[in-house]
Every structure is written in structure tokens, then in C-alpha cells.
């Protein structure tokens, strides 16, 4: 399953002056650990910027602007329910379990069109801040999968250094 590259899709439209301001903000908030423009692969950073134009001080951003190719794309995203090229993108559901604990159930559409179960298992197992999330997958979507130990336990570093993913069962976009 190939993960779609939505760098040029699902972006808040800005006028030329706003785009110039956004580009400056992106440059000011990028560093050796995070390239804000690479985040546009799976997150609408322009939309985030319109609501939060101050310094970017969080690694994890709200679901509001997650694109359909983000592993934790949810119904809380403004893009859940959007249709592009005949495909309706429906986000997964977050459920609070209590005591700061959460569960995530990807939508059937996610499992069919954007994220393999193996990819999601690896993502939630390896991503800082997500490793305690209970991932709820339909039993039929998990054939005898055994996740290998990640070579790089800091998966967030992978997301911040290149806009591609490479987990078992998935081809990354070029």
C-alpha cells in the first residue's frame, strides 16, 4: 500500500501576502529537528498558522489540520469526510479511556486506502506520545503480524527529516 503524498493537497488557501508571512514563519520555526514545510506532507501547516501564528513550540499538533495520510487522521480533522478523486476520506475515532489514556480506531477507509494495519501498529508503538495509545483494529485486518523491533525508536525524527514512511507492508511515496 502506497502512502499518498498530500503536500500539495488539503492546504488552507492563503492570499499572496499571507503566503509570504507563512513562509517566513515556517523558516523561523524550522530547525535541525523540524522542517515545517516537510510537515505539509500530512498536516495543513497553513491552516495551523492561521490559528496559531506565534512560535511553534509543540511536537504534536491538534487533529484539526491533520490530512488523510496522517497516521492519526481522525474525525476531529476538518478534512474528515472530504472527497478527492472519487475517494471519501473518513478519519478514525479517538476515545478517552480515563486517567489520560486514549484509544484510536482507524476508519475502514483508512485501512483500505491509506494505512496498512502493520503500519499503524508500528506508528503507535514507536512514536513518542502515541506509544501508550490503545490501537483498535478489526481482527480480520491483522493476519499473524509480529512487529519487528524498530531500528530507530525515535519515529518522530523520521517524520521530521523526510516526508516518507517505511514500515512493513507499505511502500513510501517518492
Partner residues linked to 94 by β-bridges: 104
Out of 55-69, 88-102, 133-147, which region has the weakest mean confidence (pLDDT)?
Answer: 133-147
Number of domains in the chain: 1
Q: What is the pLDDT of residues 5-15, one digit of tens each?
A: 999 999 999 99
- Residue 35: pLDDT over 70: yes
Residue 138: its pLDDT value, please?
A: 82
Residue 107: its pLDDT value, please?
A: 95
Task: Answer whether residue 168 is part of any domain.
Answer: no
- Residue 173: pLDDT over 50: no
Task: Answer whether residue 152 is part of any domain.
Answer: yes
Mean pLDDT over each residue of the chain, to the nearest integer: 82
Q: Do strands 134-135 and 83-84 pair parallel, antiparallel, or not at all (unpaired)?
A: unpaired
* C-alpha to C-alpha distance for 130 and 124, rounded to whole angstroms: 5
Regarding predicted confidence, which is higher, 57 or 39? 39
Task: Answer whether residue 52 is part of any domain.
Answer: no
Whole-number percent of the chain with pLDDT over 90: 57
Q: What is the DSSP string of 83-143?
A: EETTEE---BEEEEEETTEEEEE--HHHHHHT--HHHHHHHHHHSTTTTTSEE---GGG--
Task: Answer whether residue 106 is part of any domain.
Answer: yes
Task: Answer whether residue 30 is part of any domain.
Answer: no
Residue 142: its pLDDT value, please?
A: 52
* C-alpha to C-alpha distance for 8 and 123, rounded to whole angstroms: 23
Residue with cell 487522521: 73
72 in Cβ contact with 114 (< 8 Å): no
Q: At 127, is the pLDDT very low, low, confident or very high (cuts 50, 70, 90)? A: confident
pTM of the complete model beyond 0.75: yes
Residue 132: its pLDDT value, please?
A: 86
Domain membership of residue 135 as a residue range = 85-160
Amino acid at each position: 500500500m502506497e502512502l499518498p503524498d498530500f503536500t500539495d493537497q488539503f492546504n488552507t488557501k492563503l492570499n499572496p501576502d499571507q503566503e509570504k508571512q507563512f513562509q517566513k514563519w515556517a523558516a523561523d520555526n524550522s530547525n535541525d529537528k523540524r522542517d515545517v514545510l516537510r510537515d505539509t506532507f500530512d498536516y495543513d501547516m497553513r491552516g495551523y498558522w492561521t490559528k496559531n501564528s506565534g512560535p511553534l513550540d509543540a511536537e504534536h499538533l491538534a487533529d484539526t489540520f491533520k490530512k488523510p495520510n496522517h497516521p492519526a487522521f481522525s474525525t476531529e480533522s476538518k478534512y474528515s469526510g472530504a472527497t478527492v478523486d472519487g475517494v471519501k476520506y473518513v478519519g478514525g475515532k479517538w476515545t478517552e479511556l480515563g486517567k489520560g489514556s486514549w484509544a484510536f480506531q482507524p476508519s475502514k477507509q483508512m485501512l483500505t486506502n491509506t494505512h496498512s494495519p502493520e503500519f499503524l501498529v508500528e506508528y503507535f508503538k514507536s512514536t513518542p506520545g502515541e506509544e501508550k495509545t490503545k490501537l483498535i483494529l478489526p481482527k480480520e485486518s491483522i493476519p499473524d503480524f509480529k512487529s519487528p523491533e524498530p531500528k530507530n525508536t525515535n519515529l518522530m525524527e523520521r517524520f521530521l527529516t523526510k516526508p516518507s514512511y517505511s514500515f512493513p507492508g507499505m511502500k513510501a511515496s517518492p
